[in-house]
Structure 1
Amino acid sequence: MNDEQTLVRQILQGDLRAYQMLVERYQRLVLHMVSRIVRQPADVEDVCQEVFIKVYKHLREYQFEAKLSTWIASIAYRTAINYAKKMNRLPAHGDLNQVSETREPSGNSSPEDILVNKDWKSFLYAQIEQLPVHYRTILTLYHLEELSYEEIGQITSLPAGTVKNYLFRARKLLKEALQRHQKREHWL
């Protein structure tokens, strides 16, 4: 019996410490999923709690067909999407033409360069936040959680080909925004 099966079995037998371990192990994943869809910090916390309540309530239904992390992430994804729809806060598309004033980071480590690098990262994060929700989610799952196309497909109920396509489009939109920003910075 593997670690996930043991953990699930212990939780189903009423071991609250095992459930606490599950929450601690997967809270980062759930937070990443939910925060890419739900925008208000107080709402993110509420939705994350709701996710773990659903995980606990439906744990008997988990069949070990996918990794536990994939199963939990799919619950987080669906819960966040449903919450955002219910609150009418699900943006369909972002506007990548709105570019903040930042500069490209350089390889030096002077205080000025550190500040510029911080601004550059802020710019990149701002551009990611402006992406459509599916693109943001897939970027997060692929690059931060390091999940495969198939795992992301299981979480989002999208075919692996669509996941690849969305990831390609998201990267392309980010690249275009960065190029526009660099071109504008060059002229300043």
Structure 2
Amino acid sequence: MIDERALISRILQGDRQAFRLLITQHERLVAHMVARVVKHDEEREELCQDVFMRVFEKIGDFNFQSKLSTWIATIAYRLAINHLRKQKMSFLDIPEEERFTDLFVEERNPAAILEDEDSDGMVLKLVDKLPPQYKMVLMLYHVEGMRYDEIGEITGMPEGTVKSYLFRARTLLKDKVIKYLGKEELL
């Protein structure tokens, strides 16, 4: 793997292959960031492209005060949230009791649900029903393995808020898993 400074230097000198390498190294992270906020495939794909276009435009401004992945994740987060705001969707105005109402259209026996779907898939469905800020914090912490301070840098949240959101997201997930499946051991 090439050093970040060398990679950026090559990109700034016009090396297209270096930029392709940067995309390859960070496309999974960007896809995760965008997918936690934007639901439609076409919009996600376009937004991921926009993220890398912005990275290309701003790469000269990167000052190495954070990891390159943190900087790129910050761009992805901000573009995804701005996209959501443009659609006039406020993820803070949804009452908690309505956040999970569309998970199951029909009443089903928890045992039947477990037979139909694996527990990981069910937990992912529940995660997708969380408000975007909770999904993002969960994804960055558990999937990307980022520290609280890195998540705070990406989202612009104080570290205490990151910890609070992570705790709240876990609590919501646990409560919903217990409620819908009657299986606390899934988490």
TM category (shorter chain) comes to 0.7 to 0.9
Question: Counterpart of 2:122 in 1: which secondary structure?
Answer: helix
Q: In the alignment, which residue of structure 2 is the partner of 1:136?
A: 135
Q: Describe how 1:12-27 pairs up with structure 2 within 5 A.
A: 12-27=12-27
- Deviation of 1:117 after TM superposition, in Å, equals 7.5
- Answer whether contact 1:96 1:173 (CA < 8 A) is retained: no
Distance 1:83 1:90 in 2: 11
Cα distance change on mapping 1:121 and 1:97 into 2, 3 Å: same
Read off the aligned partner of 1:95 and give its amino acid letter: R
- Deviation of 1:121 after TM superposition, in Å, equals 2.6
Q: Which moved more, 1:146-155 or 1:115-124?
A: 115-124
Q: Does residue 96 of structure 2 align to residue 96 of structure 1?
A: no
Percent identity at matched positions? 40
> Where do 5+ consecutive residues of structure 2 fail to align?
none
Distance 1:161 1:117 in 2: 39
Q: TM-score, normalised by structure 1?
A: 0.85
- Answer whether contact 1:103 1:120 (CA < 8 A) is retained: no
Question: Counterpart of 2:117 in 1: which secondary structure?
Answer: helix
Cα distance change on mapping 1:102 and 1:166 into 2, 3 Å: farther
Q: In the alignment, which residue of structure 1 is the partner of 2:180?
A: 181
Q: In the alignment, which residue of structure 2 is the partner of 1:107?
A: none
- Deviation of 1:82 after TM superposition, in Å, equals 0.5
- Answer whether contact 1:99 1:177 (CA < 8 A) is retained: no
Q: In the alignment, which residue of structure 2 is the partner of 1:122?
A: 121
Distance 2:99 2:16 in 1: 45
Distance 2:137 2:48 in 1: 18
Q: In the alignment, which residue of structure 2 is the partner of 1:160?
A: 159
Q: Which moved more, 1:74-83 or 1:92-101?
A: 92-101
- Answer whether contact 1:96 1:130 (CA < 8 A) is retained: yes
Number of matched pairs: 175
